Amino acid sequence: MPHPATLSILLIGNTDRAEFAEARAALAASGELTCVRETGTAEESLLAGLDPELIVFAQAYPGEFSHDEVDRLRRRAPLARLAGLLGSWCEGEMRTGKPWPGVPRVYWHQWPSRGQRQVRQLRQGRPSAWTTPITATEEERLLADARRTSERRQGLAAVATRRAEMHDWLAEACRSRGLATAWLWPPRPTRIGGATLGIFDGGDLRHGEEEQLRQMAAMLRPAGVIALLDFPRLEDTHRALAAGAAAVLAKPVFLDDLAWEMDRLMAQPTATGQ
């Protein structure tokens, strides 16, 4: 049976929040999207005949949706895949809260790479972290999401970081995609030409980082720059994009998310100078 080209998606929560805007737009473009504010309204929709293949809880703060609410919806739609879209206030929930069991989680800033990748795999009927059993551990979800094959490319990646260990990790990630690397040390600006990609290892864009990112993006243009930031808020992401970044990822960085953004940027004509 062929997998449908679009998905039936139920999105629950206050999706008018700015941090959820990109995910909501992407979900709307991926299928037939139904948005409701409360789980009670979601249950009514399911009883009325809505049959979603994916249910996404947009949680703005810890505890907004209880375990009981999630379990009730799981029983109402046992064949649907469940996922959590988490806002900035949920960053520490894994340490201090009680995350929903058996529900994969994606923070709002992870959506462009991880969330959209998972939705695309659902549409294509491919296995992924979101298709694992509800009893799967986080490690098993990561293994399910690991890329088995990768498209190797040619080119040069400019890596800007002050830390040798971060450079080594990023350089290895680039080499695994077929790219050579050049190390740029931000305190000592270096001119480089012909790069097909840039990676900027930042923090919170203070202490001159925003200007360093701006200079790097201008120097490497038209190649795209991926900015790595510490727990970015929505305003941090906007500042990075305004400074010239083509993508923003939060640290700690997942290799698959980095590889996704690398492939996306290098596949664009503006990232290759074509």
Sequence spans of domains, the chain: 7-145, 156-272
Q: 42, 36 in Cβ contact below 8 A? A: yes
List, edge to edge, every strand of the sheet that includes 156-160: 180-184, 156-160, 197-201, 224-230, 247-251
User: Residue holding tokens 């929903």?
Assistant: 100
Determine which helix (DSSP H) or strand (DSSP E) holds 210, and give its type and residue range: helix 209-220
Q: Which residues of the chain form beta strands (DSSP E)?
A: 7-13, 31-36, 54-59, 81-86, 105-107, 156-160, 180-184, 197-201, 224-230, 247-251
Mean pLDDT of the chain: 87
Q: What's the pTM value of the predicted model, to 2 decimals?
A: 0.78
Split at pLDDT 50, 70, 90, the class of 224 is very high
| CATH topology identical between 7-145 and 156-272 | yes
* Cβ atoms < 10 Å from Cβ of 127: 11
Residue among 24, 27, 2 nearest 15 (CA)? 24
In whole angstroms, give the CA distance from residue 225 to residue 159: 9
Split at pLDDT 50, 70, 90, the class of 256 is confident
pLDDT at site 2 = 45
Percent of the chain topping pLDDT 90: 59
For domain 7-145, the CATH architecture is 3-Layer(aba) Sandwich (3.40)
Residue among 2, 4, 56, 1 nearest 31 (CA)? 4
- The whole-number average pLDDT for the span 227-254 is 93
pLDDT at site 152 = 67
Residue-wise pLDDT for 31-77, tens only, equals 999 999 999 999 999 999 999 999 999 999 999 999 999 999 999 99
Split at pLDDT 50, 70, 90, the class of 3 is low
For domain 156-272, the CATH architecture is 3-Layer(aba) Sandwich (3.40)
